[in-house]
Structure 1
Amino acid sequence: MSADGPQARGEAALPHREAVHIPPQETATERHTHEEDSREPLTLTPGQRKSLVFLQMNTPVSLLCCIATALFVTLIVPSIHYVFRNQPTYFTMAPRMELAYFAVMMLFQIGFCLLALITPNPHTQLCIVEGTGSRLAIENYLIAMWLFCRVMDTSASLRFGVLALAVILIMSIVSAVVLRTKYQPRWVHPFELLLVHIPNKLITVLVSQVLIWDTLMLAWGWERSNGREALAHGLWISIIVQVIIGIVLAVWVAQTSDVSVYAASMFLDAAVLKFHKMPVIGPNSRPFVLTAILCVSMTVRTICLVIPGMLKHGCLIICHTHGRHGPEEAYTEPVVEEPVEQGTPAPVVYVPTPDTDANENTRLVQRADPSYGGL
């Protein structure tokens, strides 16, 4: 056997290293753009075009009807402001903040109407027709009916108002599911994100978080104008509803990082806490448990938005370190390299394992040749 036999076998056992070209990976937005470019051009069917034309006329009319109704119930006596102020429940919002929320919602819907009229993009037209369709207009009509029922303030009108809000909630959830599954919000379609997705989310959050529960408690008579005992009947239901809504919002924000839902829900919670008939501190303050639930819910919601965003954008890094490779466990037996003469093959040097790795049979092999690099 020749002297260089073990060395030759050691060299043969080592894998041959080759330079491998790794192509740059595309981002999700680029992949989505390439997929859309590779598809066939989108076209609207005759039925979809008729739906779009009807929507272009019906949605502005419904919006004008809703705005006119809101102005009417504000000017009559008793006004909507008087009714909200004198019939407080655990879900009643500050009137001015509620008015500001409605104003912002109407502005987004005006943008939706303009987008439906002027957009030439078939993708946006399909998003409008299939994502919202005539449901948004029907929701506006139902909101106008709810305003009338709220001002009439009878048992039958309040129950009819609860029914109208339930229909609005179901329709807005259907629109949200369609938009989420078929037309996901992406910045490659900014107008769809701002003027189609957000108006539907604003209605969904408003009805599901505040309006339907406030009207339901009024229909059951659980409000302060009927006495403190009547108001106290709705305490446990209010606690359960607030906890469930807080959990659902926290999970949604954590999974989707939806800033619009986060901002809308935080504003509504602040409006509920701001209501002067039920202050946070005072003789007529709301129960401490409800205030604590709202504050905890807002805090958890903020954490669920910030932490996943920091992890996604690299602002927060979680390091996983194997226990036996800690800094306190230094290798006791250093690697010894023999000098290599020019023209002779590089010897194979075996690195002995430390005591902590005595149960492993794998030996580390190092090349002393500079072309192989060092450990």
Structure 2
Amino acid sequence: MKITDIVVLQLRIENIENVFDGTQDVLIVQVLTDTGITGFGEVVSSSYVARAIIDAPRSGGGRHGLRSIVTGMSPLDTRAVWEAMYEGTSWYGRRGAAIHAMAGIDVALWDIIAKAAGTPLYRALGGSDARRMRAYASVLWGDTVVETERLARDFRNQGFQAVKFGFGPIGTSLERDVEMVAAARRALGDDADLFVDVGRRWQVEQAVERAAAFDDYNVGWIEEPLHPDDLSGYAALTQRTAIPIAGAETEETVAQFKAYLDAGLKVVQPDLGRVGLTQALEISALARRYGARCVPHCFGSGVNTTASIHWMAATGGTLTEYPMRSNALCRDLVRGVPSVSDGYVSPGEEPGLGIELSSDVVEQYAYG
């Protein structure tokens, strides 16, 4: 089996807001083969930059576009394809958007491997059963306390037993932060998990102060409280708070995740659209050796959501992120995304990811 082409679909909603919401524009990759099997992946990055990295022609050493590198290679050898992409982009890549684009292709290769074997993706990744796992509803904080309470109640009414709120007004003041967390906890009740995503807005002393103020609200973790470059800050913070610290969603290499684990994080959050499945399997194993949890970051389309569920099923994961934005790229683009029932989700049994794209949504939101 050989790779014959990569089809890149860039999709964008009409009105883009300057907020950290990866469902507003997405980049889907389809890896085509000479057997007719197609694999799906999603790139989580600047979709415009990553698209150029895939589409670029061959050039001087280490300056090639990804399509030109992988065409003609076997999709069944993910390690060989990864190394070829890494070396072929080494003059401008090795980190950042080049790795993100590679990650989307890598997920598509695993989809092909599973489809060729006639097995669901989680089995191709080494899993033995379609284990149920909790899915936490993931959404931005409401603009007000009242809006946050409404969102939390809605998710409980939908059966979710865990919710994460992120970005929005959090981080603006101690009083405001406590009000928002208290509102979410009131609406969720005492028997649901609450995760707080700060969006990299605090310094160490602010984070210590906020964590102490959150003690009464049973916060499951505090996510990305500091700038991602502040590893020394993370090392200090993890020694001074009892609430687990989560992070590293911005990172794209195994070495970077090891650095966060060395800094004391108890939850690392790889995004498959930034690391790919080949690296994600290594990161899961690395987190286990550190006694930490590996929980997917996932805030894009149903391609990434579905791949993350299969990855967790294959590696013994017990929790996965489930984005709950209301736009079409999050909710309607992908058919076959596993649904949540009573707060739990399981991977499907169809070969590969078991998904298809809605042609109507693709036609309506195609960009460029």
TM over 0.5: no
Q: Pick the structure with more helix per residue.
A: 1
TM range (shorter): under 0.3
Length-normalised TM-score, structure 2: 0.25
Greater CA radius of gyration, 1 or 2? 1
Length-normalised TM-score, structure 1: 0.25
